[in-house]
Structure 1
Amino acid sequence: MSLQERDKKHLWHPLKQHQTHPNSLGIVKAKGCILTDEKGNEYIDAISSWYTCMFGHCNEFITSCVYKQMQTLDQIMFSDFTHEPAVKLSEELIKILPENQNRIFFNDNGSTAVEAGIKMALQYYFNKGEKRNTFIALENGFHGDTFGAMSVSGLSVYNGPFEDFLMDIERIPVPNGTNNKEIIHQLEKIIAENNIAGFIYEPLVQGAAGMQIHKADDLNEILKFCSENKILTIADEVMTGFGKTGNHFASNEIATKPDIICLSKALTAGLIPMAITSCTEEIYSRFLSNDMAKGFFHCHTYSANPIACSAAIAAIELLQTDEIQKNIKQISNAHKAFEARIKNHSKVNATRSKGVILAIDLNTNSSRYGTLRDQLLQFFMDRGVFLRPLGNTIYIQPPYIITDLELQKVYKTIEAALEIV
């Protein structure tokens, strides 16, 4: 019996309606940019398996570092112990994070990194004797699936059944250079009428919204306003972090730095789940007290797992190599050339790119999560390319090690799709 048939007996997949989409493709091998299914068919992983495997699947340098770590220390509770991989990772990460970041808190995944960031902001004020219970978030943002992360997310397709149970959120439009003044006026009204704990945002690129891109200077106006009004800022870099936008972190491109940063996905190069919430020394200091209750009582069993830390250390080392930095620039330039080639196509409504991220909005009337998305997904898979459209938006976020031949195949497959939509 095939993996696909065995899968149907017991498994429940995420982001999937099993009634209408009962099948899940069985993958038996992944190496570099190539996924291989149980029938031997190969697919170029053009979205790095949800933006995680940025150095390719089963990267030998990373797996060798992890194997070495597995021989000495596998797991240890982090509340009472520390270890070399955690300490080393904190040292290496602080070197490349925005200069105001100084403390590293470990989590399990992107949602829990955001959850911890939200709780840090709430308790920061609680420990100061201030009750603040409302967050500001951008429209159409996505920050994860736990309750705090859902609350600050703005895409109802994910949150619909739970909206009556979520936190108080005030939403503002994404700044675009023409609405900045209106947003600032809106913010002034919001902080006058609410006890604001923080502002959370995806810096430069809103992923689940269709890779929508905004400019650093426009976002900086909002961050500067928040800073001047003592509102903590939380940058969700779960998707954008570790080179995706062309910089190590999108926040490095913005003048006003966040107080808290959420990291996951490419943190461990897709090898092992782990996440981090970093913050400033000022935030950390508010949790220091002789009163035990003022400590941060938030914990994951696998916090700072040594094996996951070793994968992250190796990934950070690779990220900073001349080869990977050169590859990032080459992919970015290739995206721009491809944009120029297709932007005037009758089926293309808009294109945009930032670093290794490229998005193409199709000029159709189909619903965002309608049949077109499913048709496109199958079209791409039939031609050996794994792309997972966000409704009418096709996006690419390839591994940094993708070859030019592989990337050109991705582009040509998209061009072929434009002729049939």
Structure 2
Amino acid sequence: MTLSYDELRALDARHVWHPFTQAGTAQPAILALGARGSTIYAADGREYLDLVSSWWVNLHGHANPAIAQAVADQAGRLEQVIFADFTHEPAARLAHRVCKRLPGDLNRVFYSDDGSTAVEVALKLAHQYWRNHGQHRSTYIAFEGGYHGDTAGAMSAGHSSGYFGAWKEMLFPVETVPFPATWNGDETVEDKEQAALDALDLLFAANPDHVAAVIIEPLIQGASGMRMCRPDFLRKLEAKVRDNGSLLILDEVMTGFGRTGEIFACVKAGITPDLICLSKGLTGGFLPLSVTVARDGIFEAFLGQDLSRAFLHGHSYTANPLGCAAGLTSIDLLESAACQQRIGAIEAIHRRRLDGLKGLSNVAHTRLTGTVAALDVIGGGKGYEAGIGPKLKAAFLERGLLLRPLGNVLYLLPPYCITDAELERAWDAVDEVLRSLAK
């Protein structure tokens, strides 16, 4: 039975609860019929250039034929198998491919479903690692503004992001230190970095031998407004964690797989965490899948003859073969010369167009890391609930651009397949909208 446009919209309005949406005030959801490359095709005949990679997951464009074929081929062989008693070729190969590109001895892959569960796994691994060593360590340290997902542990680590007030009674305490957010022309960055490191020192001193782990989104804090820090700060952070005998967790759910200009932010910064969380771009945007990768020493702490030492955690769709097949092909595409050229081209266009906005009175804190460009729009409030955000979003949708400002923060995070002409058109619209608001 084929349903009409109005019938589908009515079904959605009656039954579907959309995420991060106030249903009492939201406009009806756009009905997507299909997508190809950087473009989403809507049922009303409109087209939208996807400048946010559909929540940062789509690396190579919508309906990429190579990934689609890999998923279809795998579906005809093995679509799902319990991963507690079985393994399969796509899972083993994908784990190897990921570990091969990670630094140091990050060699042990634990599969789960999404970014939140990848972080949850890392937090639980850190706690049990110390427990298996006969130590009770329950203190975690995170960074102000950090967002790590929507499960209970991930929310606890990201409590300062401001998203989780409704559930604060459910969360366990996590200490926070300032995040040294920086931008082009920032003359105070070194002072902010030192303040963050000093705050970290104080927490370690107040909790000797009790800190289980420090967790950070490396180089870019995503949901809190694409706030960026320098690689040098991450190197100093790693040294502090090592000096104090704790563990370092990197949440690379968003920054992984080329977003920072390198395949992983830890590679760009030259550091090796104890645990790293990867998701979003892992399957090129086709299927939900995530991994938490541990160093060999973490894994070895769980070995023994007693089941209580094992990591008793899992998910029904752990290491789903379809997702793993998509991930293998996505990495093939990412490592190709053509994709690497596109990543460089995107960064170059971002840099040039950000420079062109510097003179506008309503633009501040322009910043760029790899394929992620961001700026603050002055006027109309600050923070996630800033009134300027919905106005900007509506103005860009009218122009056929999918841009979802984070409050007063406007950012572009396109799929790598976007053409120079498409990206220039997007920046032309950004320039036009911002100049109209500045008058």
Same fold (TM over 0.5): yes
Distance 1:7 1:261 in 2: 37
Aligned to 2:402: 386
Rounded Cα–Cα distance in structure 1 between residues aligned with 2:393 and 2:179:
29
Report what 1:189 is aligned to.
202
1:114 has 2:130 as partner: no
Give the drift of 1:42: 0.3
Equivalent in the alignment of 2:156: 151
2:262 maps to 1:247:
yes
Letter in 2 for 1:411: W
The alpha-carbon deviation at position 222 of structure 1 amounts to: 1.4
Between 20-29 and 228-237, the greater mean CA deviation after superposition:
20-29
Rounded Cα–Cα distance in structure 2 between residues aligned with 1:313 and 1:388: 29
Q: Give 1:122 shift.
A: 0.4
One of 253, 259, 276 as aligned partner of 1:238: 253
One-letter code of the match for 2:192? N
Percentage of matched positions with identical amino acids? 39
Matched, 1:100 2:105: yes
Question: What residue is the counterpart of 1:127 in the other structure?
Answer: 132
Aligned to 1:420, the other structure's residue is in SS state helix
**CA distance in structure 2 between the partners assigned to 1:181 and 1:155 by the alignment:** 20
Distance 2:8 2:394 in 1: 19
Partners of 1:66 and 1:362 lie apart in 2 by: 41
Match of 1:275 in 2: 290
User: Which range moved further: 94-103 or 263-272?
Assistant: 94-103
1:177 alignment partner, SS class: helix
Deviation (angstroms), 1:416: 1.5
- Please tell me whether the aligned partners of residues 103 and 271 of structure 2 are also in contact (alpha carbons under 8 angstroms): no
1:257 Cα deviation (Å)?
1.2
Distance (whole Å) between structure 2 residues aligned to residue 2 and residue 386 of structure 1: 24
Q: 2:215 aligns with which of 178, 200, 204?
A: 200
* 1:339 corresponds to 2:354: yes
Cα drift, residue 155 of structure 1: 4.0
Tell me whether 1:376 sits opposite 2:376 in the alignment. Answer: no
Please state how far the C-alpha of 1:4 moved relative to its aligned partner. Answer: 2.6
Q: Is the 8 A contact 2:107 2:295 kept in 1?
A: yes
Comparing 255-264 with 302-311, greater Cα deviation is found at: 255-264
Partner of 1:418: 434
- Kindly indicate whether the alpha-carbon contact (under 8 Å) linking 1:265 and 1:275 is maintained by their aligned counterparts in 2: yes
- 1:193 to partner: Cα distance: 2.2
The answer (yes or no) to whether the contact 2:380–2:388 under 8 Å persists in 1 is no
Distance 2:27 2:49 in 1: 23
Unpaired runs of 5+ in structure 1? none
Partner of residue 88, structure 1: 93
Residues 336-394 of structure 1 deviation map (CA, whole Å, 9 limit, x = unaligned): 11011111112212211111100011121424313321111111111110000001111
State the alpha-carbon separation in 1 of the partners of residues 311 and 364 from structure 2: 47
TM-score of the two chains, using structure 1 as the length reference: 0.98
In the alignment, which residue of structure 1 is the partner of 2:280?
265
Q: Residue in 2 aligned with 1:11?
A: 16
Distance apart, 1:299 and its partner CA: 0.2
Aligned-pair CA distance for 1:5: 2.6
Structure 2 SS opposite 1:258: coil
What SS does the aligned partner of 1:102 have? strand
Counterpart of 1:228 in structure 2 is: 243
Alpha-carbon distance in structure 2 between the residues aligned to 1:385 and 1:348: 20
Higher mean C-alpha deviation, range 153-162 or range 92-101: 153-162
Deviation at 1:22, TM superposition (A): 4.7
Which residue of 43, 48, 53 maps to 2:58?
Answer: 53
Q: RMSD of aligned C-alpha atoms?
A: 1.2
CA distance in 2, matches of 1:177, 1:2: 57
Q: Report the alpha carbon displacement of residue 171 of structure 1 after superposing the two structures with TM.
A: 0.6
Partner amino acid, structure 2, of 1:184: L
Q: Is the 8 A contact 1:51 1:266 kept in 2?
A: yes
Residues in 1 aligned to 2:313 and 2:27: alpha-carbon distance in whole angstroms: 37
Are the equivalent residues in 1 in contact too, given 2:393–2:404 (CA < 8 A)?
A: yes
> What does residue 168 of structure 2 align with?
163
Q: Describe the SS at the equivalent of 2:273.
A: coil
2:234–2:271 Cα contact (<8 Å) kept: no
Deviation digits for residues 27-55 of structure 1 (CA, Å, limit 9, x no counterpart): 11111000011111100001110111110
User: Aligned partners of 1:2 and 1:359: how far apart in 2?
Assistant: 38
Aligned-residue offset at 1:70: 0.8
Unaligned runs of 5+ in 2: 1-5, 181-188
CA–CA distance in structure 2, aligned partners of residues 355 and 392 of structure 1:
21
Change in 2 beyond 3 A, CA 1:382/1:365: closer
After TM superposition, the structure 1 = structure 2 runs for residues 317-332 of structure 1, keeping only pairs within 5 Å, are 317-332=332-347
Separation (CA, whole Å) in 2 of partners of 1:2 and 1:360: 40
Tell me which amino acid in the other structure corresponds to 2:94.
L
Deviates more, 1:361-370 or 1:224-233: 361-370
User: Aligned partner of 2:113: which letter?
Assistant: D
| Equivalent position to 1:178, from 191, 198, 215 | 191
Aligned mates of 1:348, 1:184 — CA distance in 2: 30
**SS, match of residue 278 in structure 1:** strand
Distance in 2 of aligned mates of 1:341 and 1:296: 52
Q: Secondary structure at the match of 1:300?
A: coil
The range that moved more, 76-85 or 89-98, is: 89-98
Residues matched between the structures, number: 421
